[in-house]
Amino acid sequence: MKKIILSALALVAFTFANAQDTEQTATGKWLIEANTGFGAAHTANTGFRYYAISDDGGSGYNLGLEGGYFVMDNLALKVGLGYGSNKQNSDADSFSTFSYKIGAKYYVTGKIPLQVDYSGLSVKDADDNPSFLGLQAGYAIFLGDVVSIEPGVRYNLTLDDEIAQSVFQLNIGFAVHL
């Protein structure tokens, strides 16, 4: 009897959890994301990051946010902006960056976010600036009705082989669903 009651409670909890998740990614909802990225520093970054440069003791940071609107259940169209600075010990090697991103994010079964996007990096005083095709997948852990944590993997495929390399990244996203 105890197993039947526990099984019934588990089924109710599972159903309730899935109903909440679908509601968070329903048509007309907004999505605001702050991401962290672990991997190469020289990509278009619309997340948060701080890194040390071991060659000369310099450091760099990036600040950014992404936002989106669910145009249909589980599908959000997104944009993102980021600003970064790289401070080397030599001022000649220091630079600032502006990053941008536009793309789409789809939540498979309301829990597995898949994203494809175009992103670019504008480096101050640079003649050429790289751009990337981003492919991203993860898992959404919903904490209540509004917040989710989304660990994932990302591959930035360079569209400019002469000035940038393709980069694999690990990230953790923090999202607010309004």
Contact criterion met (CB below 8 Å) for 112 and 23: no
Distance, in Å, from the CA atom of 65 to the CA atom of 32, rounded to the nearest integer, reads 7
Using DSSP, how many helices (H) and how many strands (E) does the chain show? 1, 10
One-letter amino acid for residue 146 of the chain: V
Task: Using a cut of 0.85, tell me whether the model's pTM lies above it.
Answer: no
Hey, what's the torsion of the CAs at 177, 175, 135, 105, to 10 degrees? 0
What is the Cα–Cα distance from 63 to 131, expressed in whole angstroms? Answer: 18
Fold observed for domain 2-177:
Porin (2.40.160)
pLDDT, tens digit, 9 for 90 and up, residues 3-39: 544 454 444 344 444 444 468 889 999 999 998 876 6
